[in-house]
Homo-oligomer: A and B are copies of this chain.
């Protein structure tokens, strides 16, 4: 089973990397971009596991290691 985990900075947390990219995009001709936020996409390949168990274990992995829940939000989707 494949899992896609999305980790994003919480709204209240400043994102200087995103701001830098927004500035760079503006400079090369894309003033249409008003805001940029950078997050992580973490793709997991799991062995044989039930959907319920995968849901539970991936949630645990996010809480324990993949996301810093003080400053980040996460979501994930199971694929096939």
- Shortest Cβ gap from A58 to chain B (Å): 9
Q: Is A78 an interface residue (CB 8 A)?
A: no
Oligomer copy total: 2
Across the interface, do A46 and B33 meet the contact criterion of CB distance under 8 Å?
A: yes
Evaluate contact between A57 and B30: CB separation under 8 angstroms.
yes
Q: A40-B39, A41-B39 are in contact. Are A49 and B66 (CB under 8 A)?
A: no
A44-74 to B contact mask, C-beta < 8 Å, 1/0: 1111010000000100110011100000000
Docked-complex contact A41 and B40, CB < 8 angstroms = yes
Residues of chain A whose beta carbon lies under 8 Å from any beta carbon of chain B: 6-8, 18, 21, 24-25, 28, 30, 32-47, 49, 57, 60-61, 64-66
